[in-house]
Amino acid sequence: MTILRSGVLRNWKMLRFSRSISKWVMHRGYTQSRITSSSFAALMGVTGHDIYNYFNCLLGVDFRTWLTRLRLEEAKRLIDSRKDVNISDISKEVGFSDRSNFSRQFLLYTGMTPGAWRQRKNVSAQSSHKDGDSVDTVRGRNRII
């Protein structure tokens, strides 16, 4: 019976932890630039072991990878929606303290630099502007076909 109770307690703790993470994400806590798995564990009121179990075992990624992906997804959204904002400012806004690290991580994650990501939106908007001409965007170059 004790094993059953500890399993239920563990599941309840993980459910509560999961809800806390969702709230933290909703309030954009991931934009804090100096967050570590230790500081995150303290903030969430769990142990480092809980962090490891939740991210590595349940989600299949470590905390740092999960955090970086959150930031990069937000950066993609901001680059697409806020054309007037400098990419360097966006990198800081989503929690990267170093622009070169942001660019490197963005390239690894998307296969494009942040500037190329922004340009691809401009290219796809141009593809529908000519009288039925289609635009080939191989390697970022526009060619009317």
Q: Structural domain boundaries of the chain?
A: 29-130
Question: Rounded mean pLDDT of 102-107?
Answer: 97
Rg of the chain's alpha carbons, rounded to an integer?
20
**Residue 135 burial by CB count (10 A; 0-12/13-18/19+): exposed, middle or buried?**
middle
Spell out the alpha helix ranges (H) of the chain: 2-26, 37-44, 48-52, 63-81, 87-93, 99-110, 114-126
- pLDDT confidence band for 11 (50 / 70 / 90): confident
User: Is the domain 29-130 a CATH 1.10.620.20 member?
Assistant: no
Contact 47, 78 (CB under 8 A): no
Q: Is the pTM of this model over 0.85?
A: no
What percentage of the chain exceeds 90 in pLDDT? 61
- pLDDT confidence band for 123 (50 / 70 / 90): low
In this predicted structure, what is the pLDDT of residue 140? 45
In this predicted structure, what is the pLDDT of residue 2? 40
Token pair listed for 35: 């967050």
Comparing 39 with 16, the larger pLDDT belongs to: 39
Question: Rounded mean pLDDT of 91-107?
Answer: 96
Q: Count other C-beta atoms under 10 Å from residue 99's C-beta.
A: 15
pLDDT digits (tens, 9 = 90+) for 22-69: 999 999 999 998 999 999 999 998 999 989 988 998 889 999 999 999
Q: Which of 42-46, 88-92, 108-112 has the lowest mean pLDDT?
A: 42-46
